[in-house]
Amino acid sequence: MPRKKRPEGTRAPNGASSIYFSEYDGKWHGRVTIGVKDSGKPDRRHVKRASEAEVIDEVRKLERARDDGKVRNPGRAWTVEKWLRHWVENIAAPTVRRNTLVGYRAAVYGYLIPGVGAHRLDKLRPEHLESLYRTLGTTKSRRGKNLRPATIHQAHRTIRTALSEAVRRNHITENPAKIARAPRIPEEEIIPFSQAEAAQILRACKDRHNGTRFVVALTLGLRKGEALGLQWRDIDLTKRTMNVRRSIQPVPWQHGCTSGTSTCGHRYAGHCPQRHSGGAIAQEVKSKAGRRTLGIPAQLVTALKAHRKAQEKQREETGDLWRDEGWVFTNYRGQVVHPRTDHNEWKELLKAAGVRDARLHDARHTAATMLLVLGVPSRAVMDVMGWSQIAMTTRYQHITSELTVSIADQVGGHYWPDEEEDGGSAAPVPA
């Protein structure tokens, strides 16, 4: 059916769609106002077909997509690369922590843009991402080893976050990264220290510089950055309380030699003579749950007092080179301890204690498990450990051999209340 003509002397309202025949090319044309460009000018989409019916059909599709909010961002033909660059530099950069931004940029520029950047944003499919993850699984790192599953999973989380923002802004209608199957991260077997192992470590801490720092890790379960971020003003040895307020995080250095044509020639920014904006940086703890006040055991109070006396002696010996910044645990000049140095000291401590090799974070698992052994309620455990979800108790608390035997003894005491423990295997007598 031919389209009705508008009465003479009238015109279409602003923003209305238009359909017309062009004698210049012999085609039917349609124009639909979708929205407004970044410049503020109207964004008019153009379609061209051989017949009027085809143009009408395309115009109606555009109008429905516009009215349903299912049209791509007005005025922009986003590619995945263009969106990722815009997101990480203009949306993420001003709002996230520096270390988070470093991870985002590494994933965006190192893996995502080379892998799927050429796709149109609205044409990206879950299968494209899954193919990328498989490819990354066989990609060699700088050290010549395959990328770790955790690295690939970081790329997945990054693009999922970036595309969620694109959905929120109506650039795309759904997030394919939420559908794509992310690579599985193998769970590491975590074995908390036994009571005997913990005792060996605590003994080895007594004669070491900053040994009390690891006593704090085992007894209170502070994260690495939280322990290194303690200042004396956070601790009240009289009231036996400790406030956790900040965390020390390693931040990559930035090259300071890239102005003009001058470069230092070093590959890594940490080796640049003009390096800047890096090192061990104090930051506020990430979550509200992380800001907490802990009680200090009396034995730890004694250890902290001895540590402070040793620190005062070190300050006198160092003289003018000492930088008094108020840190509880410092290097030999009063400055904050770098997390990498802290890691090396932990490894040396384990060797000195004659204990198996383990991550420093396993001390936190040990502290959480100790609370389980002591029967502390889950809600209180959350407060002590700085967790925001109760589910974290199942991740950090483990059944130790001592607890296993204790449970067995309780079971035996229930069924054989009048018998002595002799290691026998008598069956319970039915009631």
Q: Cα(38)–Cα(36) distance, rounded to whole angstroms? A: 7
Query: Sign (positive/negative) of CA torsion 358, 362, 366, 369?
Result: negative
> Which DSSP category does 354 fall into?
T
Closest CA to 81 of 170, 185, 162, 187: 162
For 330-352, the pLDDT digits (tens) are: 999 999 999 999 999 999 999 99
Instruction: Count CB atoms within 10 A of the CB of residue 247.
Output: 22
The pLDDT, as a whole number, for residue 210 is 95
The pLDDT, as a whole number, for residue 308 is 96
Q: Provide the 3-class DSSP secondary structure of residue 368.
A: helix
DSSP secondary structure string for all residues of 104-129: HHHHIIIIIHHHHTTSBGGG--HHHH
What are the C-alpha distances in Å from 398 to residues 190, 362, 392? 8, 11, 12
Contact criterion met (CB below 8 Å) for 422 and 392: no
**pTM over cut 0.85:** no
In this structure, are strands 27-36 and 42-49 parallel, antiparallel, or unpaired? antiparallel
Contact criterion met (CB below 8 Å) for 235 and 253: no
Tokens 């034995």 appear where?
A: 299
Q: Cα(120)–Cα(131) distance, rounded to whole angstroms? A: 16
For 48-90, the pLDDT digits (tens) are: 999 999 999 999 988 888 777 655 544 357 899 999 999 999 9
Q: Tell me the angle at which helices 211-220 and 195-205 cross, rounded to the nearest 10 degrees.
A: 150
Residues of the chain with confidence (pLDDT) below 50: 1-10, 73-75, 260-261, 424-431
The pLDDT, as a whole number, for residue 415 is 73
> Which DSSP category does 90 fall into?
I
Contact criterion met (CB below 8 Å) for 156 and 133: yes
Contact criterion met (CB below 8 Å) for 251 and 281: yes
Contact criterion met (CB below 8 Å) for 132 and 111: yes
The pLDDT, as a whole number, for residue 416 is 80
Q: Token pair of 191, please? A: 């074995």
Instruction: Count CB atoms within 10 A of the CB of residue 167.
Output: 13
Q: Cα(148)–Cα(139) distance, rounded to whole angstroms? A: 10
DSSP secondary structure string for all residues of 386-424: T-SSTTHHHHH----HHHHHHHHHHHHHHH-TTS---S-
What are the C-alpha distances in Å from 33 to residues 11, 75, 76, 128, 346? 16, 11, 14, 32, 64
Closest CA to 345 of 210, 236, 217, 243: 210
